[in-house]
Structure 1
Amino acid sequence: MSAARFGQAARESVAGLPRAFWWLWTSTLVNRLGAFVATFMTLYLTLERGYSASFAGLVVALHGLGGVVSSLVAGVMTDRLGRRPTLLAAQASTAFSVALLGFMEHPAAIAAVALLVGVTSNASRPAVAAMMADIVRPEDRVRAFALNYWAINLGFAVSATAAGVIAEYSYLAGFLGEAALTLACAVLVFVKLPESRPERPTSGSDAAGEEPAIGLGTVLRDGRFMGVVGLSFLISLIFTQGSVGLPVAMGAAGFSPGDYGLVVAVNGVLIVLLQIPVTSFIERRDPQKLLVISALLAGYGFALTAFAGPVWAYALTVCVWTLAEIVNSPTQMGLVVRLSPVHGRGRYQGVYNLSWAVASLVAPLMAGLLIDRYGADWLWAATGVLGTVAAAGYWLLMRGLSEGDAGVAVVAGSPGTEATEAESGSVAEVAGEAQGDAKPAAAAGVA
Structure 2
Amino acid sequence: MSAAGRWGIPAVRGHGRFVAATGIDSIGTGLVTTFIIIYFVRTTSLSLVTIGGSLSLARLLALPVPLLVGPLIDRFGARRTAAAGNLLVAAGFTGYLAAGHPWQIVAMSFLVQAGQATYWTSSSPLVVLAAAPRDRTRWFGFVHALRNAGLGLGAAAGSLSLGFSGTAGLQAIMAGNAVSCVVAAVLLTRWHPEPGAAGPAATATAVPAGYGTVLRDGRYLLLIGVNVTFVFSALVVNVLLALYIDQGLHRGAWIAGVLLVLNTVQIVLTQTAITRRTERYRPTRVLIAASLVHVVSFVLFAALDVAPGWSVVAGLFLAMAVLTVGESLSAPPTDQLSVDLAPEHLRGRYLAVYQLSWTFGQVTAPLLFSLLFSRGPAVPLLALIAISLASVPLLLLLERTDRRVRAMNRSLVNETS
| TM-score between the two structures when normalised by the length of structure 2 | 0.75
- Alpha-carbon distance change, 121 to 212 in structure 1, aligned in 2, over 3 angstroms: same
- Alpha-carbon distance change, 86 to 42 in structure 1, aligned in 2, over 3 angstroms: closer
Say whether the 8 Å CA contact 1:64–1:358 is kept in structure 2: no
Deviations 1:380-433 (A, max 9, x none): 3332232222234223433678xxx69xxxxxxxxxxxxx9799379xxxxxxx
After superposition, the CA RMSD in angstroms is 4.3
1:24-423 alignment, distance < 5 Å: 24-36=18-30, 40=34, 65=60, 68-97=63-92, 117-166=112-161, 177=173, 180-181=176-177, 183-191=179-187, 192-193=190-191, 196-198=198-200, 201-202=203-204, 208=205, 211-249=206-244, 255=252, 260-285=256-281, 287-302=283-298, 304-306=300-302, 307=304, 313-371=315-373, 373-374=374-375, 376-398=377-399
Which structure 2 residue ranges, 5 or more long, are not aligned?
412-417
Residue of structure 2 equivalent to 1:439: none
Q: Does 1:9 align with 2:6?
A: yes
> By how many angstroms is 1:266 displaced?
1.7
**How many Å separate the matches in 1 of 2:293 and 2:113?**
29
Say whether the 8 Å CA contact 2:23–2:146 is kept in structure 1: yes
- Alpha-carbon distance change, 118 to 234 in structure 1, aligned in 2, over 3 angstroms: farther
> By how many angstroms is 1:102 displaced?
9.2
> By how many angstroms is 1:179 displaced?
6.5
> By how many angstroms is 1:238 displaced?
2.0
Q: Which amino acid aligns with 1:9?
A: R
Q: How many residues are aligned here?
A: 390
**How many Å separate the matches in 2 of 1:183 and 1:97?**
11
Q: Which amino acid aligns with 2:191?
A: L
Which structure 1 residue ranges, 5 or more long, are not aligned?
203-207, 407-419, 427-447
> By how many angstroms is 1:272 displaced?
1.7
**How many Å separate the matches in 2 of 1:391 and 1:77?**
34
Residue of structure 1 equivalent to 2:415: none
Say whether the 8 Å CA contact 1:95–1:178 is kept in structure 2: no
Say whether the 8 Å CA contact 2:75–2:202 is kept in structure 1: no
Residue of structure 2 equivalent to 1:409: none
Q: Which amino acid aligns with 2:127?
A: M
Which piece of structure 1 moves more, 273-282 or 188-197? 188-197
**How many Å separate the matches in 1 of 2:227 and 2:171?**
29
Q: Which amino acid aligns with 2:186?
A: F
> By how many angstroms is 1:228 displaced?
0.7
Deviations 1:183-214 (A, max 9, x none): 41332322533671247545xxxxx1xx2423
- Alpha-carbon distance change, 133 to 304 in structure 1, aligned in 2, over 3 angstroms: same
Say whether the 8 Å CA contact 2:89–2:115 is kept in structure 1: yes
Say whether the 8 Å CA contact 1:39–1:243 is kept in structure 2: no
**How many Å separate the matches in 2 of 1:135 and 1:423?**
30
> By how many angstroms is 1:327 displaced?
0.9
Residue of structure 1 equivalent to 2:414: none
> By how many angstroms is 1:344 displaced?
1.7
- Alpha-carbon distance change, 304 to 69 in structure 1, aligned in 2, over 3 angstroms: farther
- Alpha-carbon distance change, 36 to 168 in structure 1, aligned in 2, over 3 angstroms: farther
> By how many angstroms is 1:120 displaced?
2.7
> By how many angstroms is 1:177 displaced?
4.0
Larger radius of gyration: 2
> By how many angstroms is 1:95 displaced?
3.6
| TM-score between the two structures when normalised by the length of structure 1 | 0.71
